[in-house]
Amino acid sequence: ANALAGEQMAGGTTLTRHIMTKRGTAIPVADLALIMERIELIAKRIARELAAAGLSGEHGYTGETNVQGEQVKKLDQWGNQVFLDAFEQGYPVCSLISEEMDEPHHYSVNCPDNSYCVLYDPIDGSSNTDVNGSLGTIFAVKKRAPGHSHGIEDILVPGTQQLIAGYILYGPAAQLIYTAGAGVDIFTLDRTLGEFILWKENVKMPAHGSVYAVNQANAGKWNEGARKFLAHITSRKDKRTSYSLRYCGAFAADFHRFLLEGGIYLYPGEVAEGGKAKGKLRLMYELAPLSMIAEQAGGRGTTGKKRILEIAATGIHERHPIYIGSAEEVALAESFNVEG
């Protein structure tokens, strides 16, 4: 049986081969292949490291804080360096924006007019590392303007201008999920072959689900509408209000469930002094990439008031509330005026 499974996998379609057959992508296929080749190498390296992290001493904190004011895990720092190394000679990418860096990183070589910026969260859910929990990597790609300098005005544009968006999930199997504007495809790492093999093509998110994910302990900090929405989906009055909670603490991993099975992930704004609600998750390298995936699969991503992909960032670490997943659940959340 194992031999047969291996033969079937060996006959599967690799990520590179699949990319070369894509049509209707938002980015030229040649550039898509070059960039995704680097992403694939990053995925393999991080997957390998996470499998051995307990032995290599990469768990724990560095004692530093990142630009978000959060304690930095050793794996966060290491994962960021993996991206920096991978794209050092990674034409046509010339700029990187990361959760772990205060400012964008620009390469001084290989930056022609036809160049791109990669935005990423290298280790999503890093608080799970010490308990062997699910982890991810989230990424997006935007085009750089011809003749650009080290300014980033051309990158602070709405998510509708993303060319590629995706994430890598490090679970029982490592999977790479991405879209380049022509549908969502999922690839699974065959560790025997050392290749990502096509698992599902043109994935569609169910329009309705029965699961939700949220840090429910924060409910006291939300707007009244968000609390009412939570009360509604947990009331169990009938089938349409019988939702189950599934929350693992890694955005990409929670989102992955809804991509495949439907439902909603929410991280409402927390009301601060003065009555204004503030989001937790970052727009450019968390919310916008996964919202592009959601929309390409038939789902939605919203702040509760506005479509995520329509928001132009004012800074690289800007945060917003998020309601993302099946179209029906996101519309239901909006009907409760979840963000006032």
According to CATH, where is 3.40.190.80 located in the chain? 211-335
Q: What is the CATH number of domain 211-335?
A: 3.40.190.80
CA nearest neighbour of 41 among 199, 193, 196, 172: 196
Could you give the residue ranges of the DSSP H alpha helices within the chain?
A: 2-10, 15-19, 29-56, 74-86, 224-233, 251-261, 288-296, 327-335
Element holding 137 (H helix, E strand): strand 135-143
β-sheet bridge partners, residue 320: 281
Sign of CA dihedral 300, 305, 307, 308: negative
63 Cβ partners below 8 Å, 6+ apart?
none
**Residue 44, pLDDT above cutoff 50:** yes
Over residues 222-238, the mean pLDDT reads 93
Could you say which of 1.20.1630.10, 3.30.540.10, 3.40.50.720, 3.30.499.10 is the CATH number of the domain covering 2-200?
3.30.540.10
Q: pLDDT tier at 284 (50, 70, 90 boundaries)? A: very high
> What is the spatial distance between Cα 73 and Cα 88, in angstroms, rounded to a whole number?
23
Lookup result for tokens 């992930």: 265
CA nearest neighbour of 292 among 122, 152, 142, 171: 142
According to CATH, where is 3.30.540.10 located in the chain? 2-200
Q: What is the pLDDT of residue 207?
A: 97
> What is the spatial distance between Cα 191 and Cα 195, in angstroms, rounded to a whole number?
7
Tens digit of each residue's pLDDT (9 = 90 or more) over 295-338: 999 999 999 999 999 999 999 999 999 999 999 999 999 999 99
Prediction pTM value: 0.91
Q: pLDDT tier at 131 (50, 70, 90 boundaries)? A: confident
Which of these ranges, 111-115, 191-195, 244-248, has the smallest mean pLDDT?
111-115
Q: pLDDT tier at 1 (50, 70, 90 boundaries)? A: very low
Q: What is the pLDDT of residue 2?
A: 43
Q: What is the pLDDT of residue 3?
A: 41
Q: What is the pLDDT of residue 30?
A: 95
Q: pLDDT tier at 240 (50, 70, 90 boundaries)? A: confident
Tens digit of each residue's pLDDT (9 = 90 or more) over 199-225: 999 999 999 999 999 999 999 999 999
Q: What are the tokens at 43?
A: 């995925």
CB neighbourhood size of 169 (10 A): 24
**Residue 179, pLDDT above cutoff 80:** yes
Which of these ranges, 138-147, 178-187, 239-248, 261-270, has the smallest mean pLDDT?
239-248
209-213, 238-242, 270-274: range with highest mean pLDDT? 209-213
Over residues 70-77, the mean pLDDT reads 71
Over residues 166-191, the mean pLDDT reads 96
Mean pLDDT of the chain: 89
**Residue 143, pLDDT above cutoff 50:** yes
At 52, give phi and psi (nearest 5°): -115, 10
Q: pLDDT tier at 8 (50, 70, 90 boundaries)? A: very low
CB burial string 14-28: b at 16+ within 10 A, e below: bbeebbeebeebbbe
Tens digit of each residue's pLDDT (9 = 90 or more) over 19-30: 999 999 999 999
Of residues 70 and 211, which shows the higher confidence score? 211
Q: What is the pLDDT of residue 39?
A: 97
Of residues 191 and 206, which shows the higher confidence score? 206
Give 142: exposed, middle or buried? Use CB within 10 Å, 0-12, 13-18, 19+. Answer: buried
Helix or strand or coil: residue 180? coil
**Residue 60, pLDDT above cutoff 60:** no
**Residue 69, pLDDT above cutoff 80:** no
> What is the spatial distance between Cα 339 and Cα 72, in angstroms, rounded to a whole number?
30
